[in-house]
Amino acid sequence: MSQKPYDNWETIIGLEIHVELNTRSKLFSVAPNRFGDEPNTNITEVCTGQPGALPVLNKEAVRKAVQFGCAIQGEVAKFSKFDRKSYFYPDSPRNFQITQYDQPLVKGGSIVAEVGGEEKCFAVNRVHLEDDAGMLKHFSTFAGVDYNRAGCPLIEIVSEPCIHSPQEAVAYAVAVKAILRYIDASDCNMEEGSLRVDTNISVRLKGEKGFRNKIEIKNMNSFNFMEMALKSEIHRQIEEYLHHPHIPPEQVIQQATYRWDPEKKETVLMRRKETADDYRYFPEPDLVPIVLTDAYIEDIRRSLPELPLQRERRYGRDLGLSKHQSFALTIDQALGDYFEEALKTCMNARALANWLLVEFAGRFKESGESVLSSGIKPEQVATLVNLIEQGKVTGRIAKSVADDMVAHPGADPAVLVAQNPNYHPLNDQEEIERYVNQVLADNPRLVNDYHVAGAEHPYRRDKIFTFLVGQVMKLSKGKASPTVVNDRLKHRINQWET
């Protein structure tokens, strides 16, 4: 792949993200909106399309969809309506879906995401409400339909074709998911299908105007798979065009739907789209239009919680966290909340961020767990950082304490330190001074250089000093109190005769 002239090509991706809203009941019925129950238990006459049953719109679902619209700064329509989309399939109880066709609830909007450490802004075309289908279950001799999911509220978030790489697609989807979590609109559980992504992808030669035929890819139930699927599809499309340079592009790649096969690790053809589907959309006569007032929309806008982007910027501005730290702590809302909780009692935000994102993250990498589910309380991480700040433990001891915290979740680091003599920092001035003297004696040339550098070359001087501190710490096996070491070393080096 690397030798090919792929640099001449650019990729155009559009994402359609279907999100199940976490309302108590379904979009058009009072049946519970819940995953994982016995098949066909969360159903009413509405969910199974019984004759005479009528839909009634769930206001909570509208509210959550409007929240999302406000969160992405989209234009929330004061007038929108539902339409019937006709197609026959056993999981569709009425054989039409109730969706929003030409007058969606939200028009426009944007998603800011981090791609390779850089912020990028992606345009959203529309967000609309619709109801979910049931699920087909195949058994050895028959197939059954579970209508528990039928009628669950979905929002479909349609991006503009403004995404230009698989990395961008993942970053966009991750940012969408973060917003949904922050406003508590969905649990976004991809394995349970609460968040499903369909992608439309095409490639074209750089500088080319207009789009070539696009391929739709479905069935990617993780962002990992999505990235793999897109990469493999880009590769496939470019190879097709390269192998057929004399065939018109619209014949090389024809519109079709593929699905990702996680076993084969490639996209597999589902069906060709020789003719456009005719869903015969028309306004749903059983529902009245959604009419929203300015006051309602404004109220939702004002009561939005802090969003990931706002939190990220606050961390940079107010806490001095690096761009990456801010992003990493906010994209996962639960981790951000954990950080905030720890911050309440912590003396150093940057050190805290580092401990969470590097030290503890590293300790959980293998197990696949995370500090969030470990039983380690946020204030305990804060305590550990404070112990370092107060000079009560050295950084080196702190790492051992952290190991203990992982091994004994819930243990208070202050107690761990108090109970373990090995963790007590060496405060004995005389002993430390002995180490200091030894280090000075062992490094006569450096001590000389230190004096030569003098006040004119503070940089060189500080470098030598830091190195010598390190040597003292080493002799003390990391236990010497850094404050005392600093103090004694400064004192002794200035008296030292070479």
- Please give the residue ranges that form the binding site for another protein (CB under 8 A): 45, 48-57, 84, 86, 88, 90, 93-96, 145, 276, 278, 280, 282, 285-288
Q: SS3 letters for 12-71?
A: EEEEEEEEECCCCECCCCCCECCCCCCCCCCCCCCCCCCCCCCCCCCHHHHHHHHHHHHH
Closer residue to another protein in complex, CB, 288/334: 288
Residue 54 C-beta: closest distance to another protein, Å: 5
Residue 362 C-beta: closest distance to another protein, Å: 52
Distance CA 48, CA 134 (A): 9
Q: SS3 letters for 354-374?
A: HHHHHHHHHHHCCCCCCHHHC
Could you write out the DSSP letters of every residue in 173-232? Answer: HHHHHHHHHHTTS----TTTTSEEEEEEEEEEETT--S----EEEEEE-SHHHHHHHHHH
Residue 276 C-beta: closest distance to another protein, Å: 7
Residue 181 C-beta: closest distance to another protein, Å: 31
Closer residue to another protein in complex, CB, 285/368: 285
DSSP-based helix, strand, coil % in the chain, nearest 5: 45, 20, 35
Residue 28 C-beta: closest distance to another protein, Å: 9
Closer residue to another protein in complex, CB, 95/438: 95
8 A C-beta contact, residue 161 and residue 204:
no
Closer residue to another protein in complex, CB, 89/467: 89
Closer residue to another protein in complex, CB, 145/171: 145
Which amino acid would we find at residue 116?
G
Whole-number Cα distances in Å, 246 to 25, 205, 233: 56, 15, 21
Closer residue to another protein in complex, CB, 54/452: 54
Residue 30 C-beta: closest distance to another protein, Å: 9
Residue 202 C-beta: closest distance to another protein, Å: 23
Nearest to 217 by CA among 266, 170, 251: 266
Closer residue to another protein in complex, CB, 56/452: 56
Q: Which residues pair with 426 in a beta bridge?
A: 480
